[in-house]
Amino acid sequence: MWVDTHCHLDAGEFGDRSASLADEAAQAGVRVIVIPAVARVNFAEVAQLAHRVGNAVYALGIHPLYVPTASEADLAVLRAAVGSAMADPLFVGIGEIGLDFFVPALKEAPLREKQEFFFAEQLKLAREFDLPVLLHVRRSQDIILKHLRRIRVPGGIAHAFNGSFQQAQTFIELGLHLGFGGAMTFPRSLQIRRLAAELPLSSIVLETDAPDISPAWRHPDINTPDQIPRIGEVLAGLRSLALQEIAAATSANARAALPRLATSGVGL
Using DSSP's 3-state secondary structure scheme, residue 261 falls into: helix
Q: How many residues does the chain have?
A: 268
Q: What minimum distance in Å lies between the beta carbon of 212 and Zn ion?
A: 7
Candidate segments 86-94, 96-104, 164-172, 235-243, binder of Zn ion by CB under 5 A = 96-104
By beta carbon distance, the residue nearest Zn ion is: 96
- Nearest by Cα to 156 from 231, 91, 95, 235: 95
Of the ranges 22-30, 94-102, 219-227, 260-268, which one interacts with Zn ion (CB under 5 A)? 94-102
HEC profile for 105-138? HHHCCCHHHHHHHHHHHHHHHHHHHCCCEEEEEE
**Identity of the residue, 96 or 226, whose beta carbon is nearer to Zn ion in the bound complex:** 96
Nearer to Zn ion, 26 or 157 (CB): 157
User: Closest CB to Zn ion among 100 and 116?
Assistant: 100
How many residues touch Zn ion (CB under 5 A)? 1
Stretch of residues binding Zn ion (CB under 5 A), selected from 91-99, 140-148, 186-194, 231-239: 91-99
CA distances from 55 to 25, 81, 170, 238, 255 (A): 9, 22, 32, 28, 14
Amino acid, res. 129 = F
CB of 64 to Zn ion, least distance (A): 10
Q: Which residues bind Zn ion (CB under 5 A)?
A: 96
